[in-house]
Amino acid sequence: MSPDPRIEALLSQMTVEEKVGQLGVFADMVRPFAPDVNPETNMRNANEILEHVRAGRIGALFNGVGAAEGRATQRVAVEESRLGIPLLFGADVIHGMRTVFPIPLGEAASFEPELAYRTARATALEATAAGIHWTYAPMIDIARDQRWGRVAESAGEDVLLSCIFAAARVRGFQGERLDAPDSLLATPKHFVAYGAVTAGLDYNYVDISEQTLRDVHLPPFAAALNAGAMTIMTAFNDINGVPASANRRLLTDLLRDEWKFTGVVVSDYTSDMELIAHGYAADARDATKLAFLAGLDMSMQSGFYAEHLPDLIESGEIPMAALDTAVRRVLSLKAAAGLFDNPYRSLDPEKEAGTEHLPAHTELSRDAGRRSIVLLKNDGGLLPLRKSGQKIALIGPCAQDRSNLEGCWTLFGDKSRYVDLETGLRDALETADGLSVVPGCGFEHAIDGGIEAAVRAAQAADVVLLAIGEPQYYSGEAQSRVQIVLPEVQQALAEAIAQTGTPVAIILRTGRALALTGAVRDAQAILATWFLGTQTGPAIADVIFGDYNPSARLPISFPHDSGQQPFFYNHPRTGRPELPNTTEFKTRWRECSNNALFPFGHGLSYTSFAYTAPVLSTHRLAWDDTLVISARVTNTGDRTGEEVVQLYIHDRVASRVRPVRELKAFRKILLRPGQTADVMFTLDRHMLAFTGPDGQFSAEPGIFDLWVTPSSSSGRPVEFELLPGSA
Ligand code: BGC
Taking the CA of residue 37 as reference, the ligand 1 atom at the shortest distance is: 12
Taking the CA of residue 236 as reference, the ligand 1 atom at the shortest distance is: 8
Residue nearest to atom 7 of ligand 1 (CA): 269
Pocket of ligand 1 contains residue 26 by CB under 6 Å: no
Residue nearest to atom 5 of ligand 1 (CA): 269
pLDDT score at 663: 98
Taking the CA of residue 189 as reference, the ligand 1 atom at the shortest distance is: 9
pLDDT one-digit tens code per residue, 285-316:
999 999 999 999 999 999 999 999 999 999 99
Pocket of ligand 1 contains residue 111 by CB under 6 Å: no
Pocket of ligand 1 contains residue 92 by CB under 6 Å: yes
Average pLDDT across the chain, whole number: 97
Choose among 343, 305, 274: nearest CA to 57: 305
Pocket of ligand 1 contains residue 28 by CB under 6 Å: no
- The Å distance, Cα 57 to ligand 1 centre, comes to 22
- The Å distance, Cα 190 to ligand 1 centre, comes to 9
Pocket of ligand 1 contains residue 418 by CB under 6 Å: no
pLDDT class for 593, splitting at 50, 70, 90?
confident
pLDDT score at 581: 82
pLDDT class for 38, splitting at 50, 70, 90?
low
Examine the residue annotation and report whether 268 is marked as an active-site residue of this protein. yes
- The Å distance, Cα 300 to ligand 1 centre, comes to 9
Pocket of ligand 1 contains residue 150 by CB under 6 Å: no
Q: Kindly give, in sequence order, each residue whose CB lies less than 8 Å from that of residue 195, ignoring residues fewer than 6 positions away.
A: 141, 142, 143, 144, 145, 148, 150, 151, 154, 217
Taking the CA of residue 187 as reference, the ligand 1 atom at the shortest distance is: 10
- The Å distance, Cα 268 to ligand 1 centre, comes to 6
pLDDT one-digit tens code per residue, 342-391:
999 999 999 999 999 999 999 999 999 999 999 999 999 999 999 999 99
Percentage of the chain beyond pLDDT 90 is 95
Q: What sign does the dihedral 195-196-200-201 (CA atoms) show?
A: negative
Question: Which H or E run includes 709?
Answer: strand 702-709
Cα separation, 159 vs 372, in Å, equals: 19
Q: Do domains 363-564 and 607-722 have the same CATH topology?
A: no
Lowest mean pLDDT among 40-49, 511-520, 582-591: 40-49
DSSP code at position 75? H
Pocket of ligand 1 contains residue 422 by CB under 6 Å: no
pLDDT score at 1: 63
For 373-397, the DSSP string reads: -EEEEEGGG-PSPPSSS--EEEEST
| Identified catalytic residue from 182, 268, 272, 420 | 268
Pocket of ligand 1 contains residue 136 by CB under 6 Å: yes
Cα separation, 178 vs 372, in Å, equals: 29
pLDDT score at 724: 97
- The Å distance, Cα 319 to ligand 1 centre, comes to 30
Residue nearest to atom 8 of ligand 1 (CA): 268
Pocket of ligand 1 contains residue 530 by CB under 6 Å: no
Choose among 567, 614, 623: nearest CA to 593: 567
For 595-644, the DSSP string reads: S-SB-TT--B-SS-EEEPPPEES-SEE-TT-EEEEEEEEEE-SSS-EEEE
Domain boundaries along the sequence of the chain: 363-564, 607-722
Q: Kindly give, in sequence order, each residue whose CB lies less than 8 Å from that of residue 512, ignoring residues fewer than 6 positions away.
A: 105, 146, 147, 148, 149, 151, 152, 470, 474, 475, 481, 484, 556
pLDDT score at 35: 62
Which of 136, 148, 236, 271 for mutating ligand 1's site (highest number of atoms within 8 Å of CB)? 136
Taking the CA of residue 233 as reference, the ligand 1 atom at the shortest distance is: 10
Task: Check pLDDT > 90 for residue 433.
Answer: no
Taking the CA of residue 153 as reference, the ligand 1 atom at the shortest distance is: 9
What average pLDDT does range 431-435 have in this prediction? 88
The widest CA-to-CA distance across the chain, in whole angstroms, is 81
- The Å distance, Cα 24 to ligand 1 centre, comes to 15
Task: Check pLDDT > 80 for residue 221.
Answer: yes
pLDDT one-digit tens code per residue, 460-502:
999 999 999 999 999 999 999 999 999 999 999 999 999 999 9
What average pLDDT does range 595-619 have in this prediction? 97
Give the CATH fold of the 363-564 domain: Rossmann fold (3.40.50)
Give the CATH fold of the 607-722 domain: Immunoglobulin-like (2.60.40)
Pocket of ligand 1 contains residue 274 by CB under 6 Å: no
pLDDT class for 36, splitting at 50, 70, 90?
low
Coil, helix or strand for 676? Answer: strand
For 178-202, the DSSP string reads: TTSTT--B---EEETTGGG-GGG-T
Phi, psi of 319 (to 5 degrees): -70, 145
Coil, helix or strand for 657? Answer: coil
Helix, strand, coil percent values for the chain (each to nearest 5): 35, 20, 45
DSSP code at position 82? S
DSSP code at position 503? -
Taking the CA of residue 139 as reference, the ligand 1 atom at the shortest distance is: 9
pLDDT score at 119: 98
Taking the CA of residue 190 as reference, the ligand 1 atom at the shortest distance is: 9
Which of 269, 270, 411 for mutating ligand 1's site (highest number of atoms within 8 Å of CB)? 269
What average pLDDT does range 558-575 have in this prediction? 97
Cα separation, 197 vs 147, in Å, equals: 10
∠ CA 223-227-231, rounded to 5°:
90
Cα separation, 206 vs 104, in Å, equals: 23
- The Å distance, Cα 569 to ligand 1 centre, comes to 29
Phi, psi of 274 (to 5 degrees): -70, -5
Which of 25, 61, 92, 148 for mutating ligand 1's site (highest number of atoms within 8 Å of CB)? 92
CB-count burial class (<10 Å; 0-12, 13-18, 19+) for 176: exposed
Pocket of ligand 1 contains residue 191 by CB under 6 Å: no
Which ranges constitute the DSSP H helices of 254-303?
A: 274-278, 284-294
Under 8 Å between Cβ of 185 and 333: yes
pLDDT score at 591: 92
Cα separation, 202 vs 232, in Å, equals: 20
pLDDT score at 367: 98
Under 8 Å between Cβ of 153 and 409: yes
Phi, psi of 384 (to 5 degrees): -80, 160
- The Å distance, Cα 114 to ligand 1 centre, comes to 26
Q: What is the number of alpha carbons within 13 Å of residue 20 lying toward its C-beta?
A: 23
pLDDT score at 580: 81
Phi, psi of 670 (to 5 degrees): -110, 125
- The Å distance, Cα 139 to ligand 1 centre, comes to 10
Q: Kindly give, in sequence order, each residue whose CB lies less than 8 Å from that of residue 44, ignoring residues fewer than 6 positions away.
A: 29
Choose among 580, 578, 702: nearest CA to 650: 702
Residue nearest to atom 6 of ligand 1 (CA): 269
Choose among 390, 447, 394: nearest CA to 423: 394
Task: Check pLDDT > 70 for residue 30.
Answer: yes
Pocket of ligand 1 contains residue 477 by CB under 6 Å: yes
Under 8 Å between Cβ of 167 and 102: no
- The Å distance, Cα 94 to ligand 1 centre, comes to 10
What average pLDDT does range 506-518 have in this prediction? 98
Pocket of ligand 1 contains residue 269 by CB under 6 Å: yes
pLDDT one-digit tens code per residue, 667-692:
999 999 999 999 999 999 999 999 99
Pocket of ligand 1 contains residue 268 by CB under 6 Å: yes
- The Å distance, Cα 34 to ligand 1 centre, comes to 13
- The Å distance, Cα 316 to ligand 1 centre, comes to 32
Lowest mean pLDDT among 36-40, 252-256, 451-455: 36-40
